[in-house]
Amino acid sequence: MSGQEIVFALLGVVAVGAAILVVTTRNLVHAALWLVVSFGALAGGYLVLTAEFVAWVQVLIYVGAIVVLLLFGIMLTRAPIGESADLDSGNRWAAAAVAVATAAALVTVVVMGFRDERMPLRAGGGSAEELGAAVFRTWVLPFEVLSVLLLASLVGAIVLSRSDIRARPEAGAAADEEG
Name which of residues 3 to 22 contact other proteins (CB under 8 A): 4-5, 8-9, 12, 15-16, 19-20, 22
DSSP 138-163: TSHHHHHHHHHHHHHHHHHHHHHH-T
Site string for other proteins, 87-126 (x = CB under 8 A): xxxxxx-xxxxxxxxxx-xxxxxxx--xx-xxxxxx--xx
128 is an interface residue for other proteins by CB under 8 A: no
CB of 10 to other proteins, least distance (A): 11
Q: What's the CA gap between 43 and 103, in Å, rounded? A: 22
CB of 49 to other proteins, least distance (A): 6
DSSP 9-47: HHHHHHHHHHHHHHHH-SBHHHHHHHHHHHHHHHHHHHH
Closest to other proteins by CB, 2 or 82? 2
DSSP 93-111: HHHHHHHHHHHHHHHHHHH
Residues in 150-179 that interact with other proteins by CB under 8 A: 150, 152-154, 156-161, 163, 167, 171-179
56 is an interface residue for other proteins by CB under 8 A: no
Q: What's the CA gap between 12 and 38, in Å, rounded? A: 9
With CB under 8 A as the contact rule, the residue among 44, 63, 123, 131 that binds other proteins is 131
